[in-house]
Chain A
Amino acid sequence: MITRSTAAGYAARARHRRPPPRGKRDIALNKRSLFLFCGPFAALFVAMYVAPIVYAAVSSLYVVKRSGLGLAPPTRTFEPFSNFAHAFGDKDFVAALERVALFAVVQVPLMLLLALGLALLIDARSARGKGFFRLAAFMPYAIPGVSAALIWSFMYSPDSSPLNGLLEPAGISIPFFDDDVVLWSVANIVTWSWTGYNMIVIYAALQAIPREVLEAAKMDGASALRIAWSIKVPAVRSALVLTAVFSIIGSAQLFNEPAVLQPISSGAVSSAFTPIMSAQAAVTAGNYPYAAAQSVVLAAVVGLLSFVFFKLTRRGEPR
């Protein structure tokens, strides 16, 4: 409150003064201040973001060759397409890409539907309890990915799963680590972690809908469901697009959850379960250029998908 009023005070004082000449509204900044304000960020950004990308792109163009007996040191030769051809011919890597694509196609819509539903439910509720439900849904976001995976690995544990313990009287036992199931066990951890975060983003967009619009619809006799479908959902469209893009990017990063489950999965989570795990395996094997090529392929695929998704969803938007 204090900060708001301070700012308002300054704004009020500014109004009393002579207005700046027209056409010179843009503030010119002297070089020293600009360097001070943007310089440190720009320098670290170049070092920690631009340099690694350039480094990966360049090293993916080389091939490491070892002599048959491994006596001579490995040599690097420039063969720009070799690693990429290898990647697309690598069954494990392609399978990892397909697995993550399937994951994204199923998990992202499910999670966003859940987040949207929760946001609508909390929005529909009268003031009491709102804060509690919102906080409860958001709590998993405060649990770091690795810790969440550890906690769920205890939930899934083949010999002592408390979930299966609860289901036992009903004669049900979920095989969390079966080959066909394990991907969805991972999906559940990701959904648990991120639904609340997405819900908060969507909920914030719901709050921005003018109350008069909702009142008018109610006066016209629209039901709560009708209002939700015809007014609220279209109004949060851009929030949904935003959360979808970040979720797609998140799917491409899939690493922590399967990596934590791997030791207890008795083989269901392979060492190349996701593209990042596959690249990681290449590093462990000492084949850095191949790991770099896999990263470049993944970055290109994700960048392309995000871009296409943006274009598709922005089409037909009035602006």
Chain B
Amino acid sequence: MSRGVVSGLLLVSTVYFLFPLWWLVVSATKPFGRQFSGNGLWFEGFGLLDNLTRLSAQNDGIFWRWMLNSLLYCGVGAAAGTLLSATAGYTLAKYRFRGRAALFGAVLAAVLVPKILFTLPLYLMFSGIGLINNPLAVLLPGMVSPFGVYIARIFAEQSLPDDIIEAGRMDGASETRILRSICFPTMLPVLVTIFLFQFVEIWSNYLLPAMVLTDDRLQPVSVGLVGWNASHIAVPRPLVITGSLVSVIPLVVVFIALQRFWRSGMTAGAVK
């Protein structure tokens, strides 16, 4: 195949992947109410600031509250989830103890069961113990990442020689200190990967927060925007478009900024 054909095919695929995002950016900058006029591919006037002002004013500025909720649920959930699953994955990789095989088997099985299936029973359990409309109902499930344990274990096995841990012990370091000062720094790429994946997963989870958080002041931005979209008479669609753009910016920025890390982290999980 000639270079031209390769470049041509790659260009076509890039247009496919970026077209909807381009449309979103262009539409959010158009003057309010003109989002669907024109061909949708090029700018027409400038109304981004006006759109943002209207977005902030809608329902007493609840949109920013939703964004804050999302950042909080995802940030706290992903940070705790990364710490827990990296520690567990490291322990599974480097120590022999009773129940090790059983624990890893259970984790692997959990990776293979569609996650959404846990949502309905979780909802019923949470309503049984009065956790409805409590942020914990979203935070607690977000802190568990079987996939994180899985890739942390593989990465620790490949990149942490036993000698390093032995050396730390001979220097008199405690197990916790060995983990914190020697192993975690080496595992940094996989820690960032787990954090990002978990962050995106919690941010994308729609059904669970939609069921357990009925108070709209507690909802994350995904649930809020879908609610706005479904009620298209009450909330004008240009606001849903502008809100969608604002809501995806944090994730896109984080992914581009941390590219170096998640790429090496993902490689660890894929190449066995």
Contact = CB atoms under 8 A, between A and B. Distances in A.
A14 B270 contact: no
Interface string A32-49: 011011101110110111
Interface stretch (B50-58, B59-67, B178-186): B178-186
A245 B150 CA distance: 15
Interface in B161-216: 161-168, 170, 174-176, 179, 182, 185-186, 188, 200, 203-204, 206-207, 211
A47 B90 contact: no
Contacts of B146: 45, 49
Interface residues of B, number: 104
A-B pairs with lowest CB-CB distance, top 4 = A162-B40, A52-B121, A14-B163, A14-B167
A150 B226 contact: yes
Given A28-B96, A38-B87, A147 B247 contact: yes
Interface residues of A, number: 113
B88 A147 contact: no
Contacts of B188: 3
A181 interface: no
A139 B256 CA distance: 9
A255 interface: yes
B266 interface: yes
B103 interface: yes
B140 A48 contact: yes
B107 A25 contact: no
Nearest to A142: B255
Given A7-B164, A165-B40, A291 B144 contact: no
Nearest to A148: B20
Contacts of A302: 112-114
B218 interface: no
A45 B106 contact: yes
A283 B207 CA distance: 12
Contacts of B14: 132-133, 136-137
B230 interface: yes
A14 B88 contact: no
A27 B271 CA distance: 26
Interface string A194-238: 011000111011011000000000000000110000000000001
A279 B121 CA distance: 11
A208 B272 CA distance: 10
Interface of A: 2-4, 6-7, 10-11, 13-15, 17, 20, 25-30, 33-34, 36-38, 40-42, 44-45, 47-53, 55-56, 59, 114, 117-118, 121-122, 124-126, 129, 132-133, 135-148, 150-155, 157, 159-160, 162, 165-166, 192, 195-196, 200-202, 204-205, 207-208, 224-225, 238-239, 242, 245, 249-250, 252-253, 255-256, 259-260, 263, 276, 279-280, 283, 288, 291-292, 295, 298-299, 302-303, 306
A140 B24 CA distance: 13
B10 to A, nearest CB: 5
Nearest to A242: B270
B95 to A, nearest CB: 4
B23 A162 contact: yes
B133 interface: no
A256 B170 contact: no
Nearest to A245: B112
B235 interface: no
B72 interface: no
